Every structure is written in C-alpha cells, then in structure tokens.
Amino acid sequence: MVFNGRPFTALAVAVILLAFAGTAFASTAQQAGARSIVVFQKGFVDQDQKDSIIKKAGMKKIKNLNIINAVVVEREGGASALTEGLNGVLRMENDAVIHLQGKLKGHPQKESDEVLPWGVDRIDANDVWDRNHDLDVDGQRWAGSGVKVALLDTGVEMNHPDLRKNIKKGYNVVDPKKPPYDALGHGTHVAGTLAAVDNRAGVLGTAPKALIYPVKVMDDEGYGTVSGVIEALEWCIENRMQVVNMSFGTYEDVQSLHDAIAEAYDSGIVLVAAVGNDGPGNDTVEYPARYTEVIAVSATDSTDTVTEWSSSGPEVEIAAPGADILSTFLDGEYIAGYGTSMAAPHVSGTAALIISSGIKDKNKDGRINSEVREALRESATDLGDPGRDSLYGHGLLNAKGAVGRPGHNER
C-alpha cells in the first residue's frame, strides 16, 4: 500500500484512532452496562401494563422506545425475574456503547478566505452547485436546499459562522433539557463537511444549502448508547428527516438497533454510517454500518487509496475522502479530521444534492431512499479490484455523476 510519502502520518493516525477506540469505560459506558432493552411482543402496547411488568420485575424504567415497542430499564438485582415469552416480553437484551469514528488533529485555525476542502473537490460536489468555479454557489436547487439532514453525533456548535445559517432545531438525547450543543468538536466537524455555508470565509460543505438537524447521541467524551440511538431514530422518523448521518459505531449486534434502523429505512430515510477505523484486516465493519439498510462508508486519502485504518468487509458500499479533512471546529475555528467519521458526511451531503435536484420514485413505493442509494452506487468510480470490493464498495463517491444521471433531472 502506498501512502504518497506520508507513511508516518498514516501510521500515527492509526495508532491514535486505535488508542481512542480502546479508551476505558466512561460514565456513559457504565450506564449502558447497567441497562437493558425490554422488547414487548407486537400488539402488547398498553403502557400501564408494560410499566407494571417492569416494576414487578424489580427494574427501574428509564424511557420508552416506541418505534420498537420497548422500554429501557435499569437492572437492580431482580433482573432475572423477567422471562422472554412471558408477560408479553418478546426479548430482553443489553444496551451497548457507541463510539465516534474520527479524530481531530493538529492546531485549530482561525477563519480565512474561503477554501474548497480537497474532499469536496475530489467528489466533484462543487461541479454540481458552482458551475463557473468561483466558489460562489449558483442556484439553491443544486446545493441541497431544503433537504433535512439529521446529524446523530456529539452535537453541533450552533452559532459557528460557517454553519449557523443551515442549523435547525434538533434534539439532545443525552440531556433532553439542553440544546444539542457540542463540547468536543466532532459533530461540528462532521457538520462542516456536510453543509458549511457559502459565506466567502472558512470552508464549503458538500451541500452548502442543506439543513442540519443536530441530534446529540454522544456525550462530551464521545460515547453514547444504542438505546440513545434508537431514541434518536424515533425523533428522525417523527420529524421527517430525509437523510441521517451516523459517524459512530458499536461492535455489538443489537437486534433492537437493527429493528429501529429498519423502521427508519422503511419510513424513507437515507441512512449513512461510517464503517469504523479498525483496519487493516478484513471483516471489520462495525454496526450500524454493517446492517443492510445502511450505506456503509469507508475512507480514502488524497491519492484515492483506502486508508490503512479504514474498516473493510463485504458490507462496504461506497468510499469517500476521510483523511486530512479540513472542516469546522469549536469557537468558530477550523481543524483537520481523520476517520471514516469524516468520509460519511460527504455521502450524506451528496444524498442531499441528489434529493434537492429532484429524483423520481422509480419503483413507486412512495419513498426515494432506495433510488438515492442506487444513484450513489451506479455513479461511484470503481477503484481497487474490478467491481464491488470489500475496501471501496462500489467505488469512490462521485457527486457530479450521482446528480447528473440521465432521467434523474432536467439538467
């Protein structure tokens, strides 16, 4: 594998990412370890009845997860009193921890004259909304205008001058009484790659007019719970999100998460997730990227080579830039990011471009998410082994090709 004269950088980043993933349990992890998801049988929907069963079993109810007919509980010794198949209980499973899939590195930079980050340039997103290449967006319709993208992340710095115009009212799963603020910078970085605005300063995002709905599912240390993600997906369905970006993962296959993902997909949402930073080595794609309803995104560098640390496996669907990505950071500043976390928002932003430019419901199921997915796949530039492979999926993301396909708009 060639790293274009940057082997040490790549290696150092891989080490940092691994160290990060292996960080000892934070408070969120302890919380997840004490929690279970109790799923009730279909049709067993009486809340009082469910609450009373939970109480009798000696468990403390934390919250409802209505889309999968479940209740999150804290076990207090009497956990075993609940038996699957009895009292309307379909299944009981442990909650699990999620972690973010990227690392911010180097010194934060102040705002400068506007630049096009190399990743947005490489996927030719700017060719969609900046026809004369003067870094000035031409026409809202081509730039993701009005498309609702939920960012399930650490929150977002909502008053960042390069994001503010596109930020809508989101939700804080971690602390519902507070807005979805970002104290870590990860979510703010992902937001910039997705939709940093055309304001003649800082950077430009993949879809500079897309609407960002921050949903804080990870705490200020970068950890969250699967039950929190399920709650966030419920929020996304209720609030009619069109695209959901998930730059996080978990190593555990939790059926309840898969069920919630399937509900979101069936409601028509385009689901995008980072595959993880567990490479090299095959079959390392994390959840939820591993689920079939989700577009699993691996990370390439500026030589269009998959990064050494990107997870890989048959579930990888598409590759996008994820190394040395300049984007928005806290305090109105900018910083470089590394990880499949940074690759995913290029795909989510492109999905917004496809939607705003107008895509037909070809299979007439009343939803356009499968058509968006097909456009992304069919336009991808094949890399690596011929055809779909476990490193690049269908190939490198190609926004210009995805939006400009004949029959999908009147360009």
Dist CA 105 CA 46 (whole Å): 50
> Of how many residues is the chain composed?
411
Give the binding-site size for Ca ion (rule: CB under 5 A).
16
Identify residues 376-395 at the interface with Ca ion (CB under 5 A).
382, 384, 389
Residue 205 CB, shortest distance to Ca ion, in Å, is 8
Residue with tokens 């993208």: 149
Q: Is residue 317 within 8 Å of residue 394, measured between CB atoms?
A: yes
Q: What angle do CA 213, 219, 222 make, to 5 degrees?
A: 95
186 classed as catalytic: yes
Q: Which is nearer to Ca ion, 229 or 326 (CB)?
A: 326
**Active-site residue among 227, 341, 348, 390?**
341
Binding status of residue 266 toward Ca ion by CB under 5 A: no
Binding status of residue 407 toward Ca ion by CB under 5 A: no
What mask of x and - would describe binding to Ca ion in positions 145 to 184, judged by CB under 5 A?
A: -----------------x----------------------
Query: SS3 helix, strand, coil % of the chain, rounded to 5?
Result: 30, 25, 45
Dist CA 31 CA 26 (whole Å): 9
Q: How many CA atoms lie within 13 A of 365 on its CB side?
A: 11
Of positions 43, 134, 177, 406, contacts Ca ion by CB under 5 A: 134
Dist CA 219 CA 40 (whole Å): 28
What mask of x and - would describe binding to Ca ion in positions 199 to 228, judged by CB under 5 A?
A: x--x--------------------------
Residue 382 CB, shortest distance to Ca ion, in Å, is 5
Q: Is 94 in a helix, a strand, or coil?
A: strand
99 classed as catalytic: no
Binding status of residue 313 toward Ca ion by CB under 5 A: no
Residue with tokens 């790293």: 3
Binding status of residue 361 toward Ca ion by CB under 5 A: yes
Q: Which is nearer to Ca ion, 29 or 196 (CB)?
A: 196
Dist CA 25 CA 28 (whole Å): 8
The residues annotated with a catalytic role in the active site are 153, 186, 341
Residues that bind Ca ion (CB under 5 A): 130, 132, 134, 136, 138, 162, 196, 199, 202, 361, 363, 365, 367, 382, 384, 389
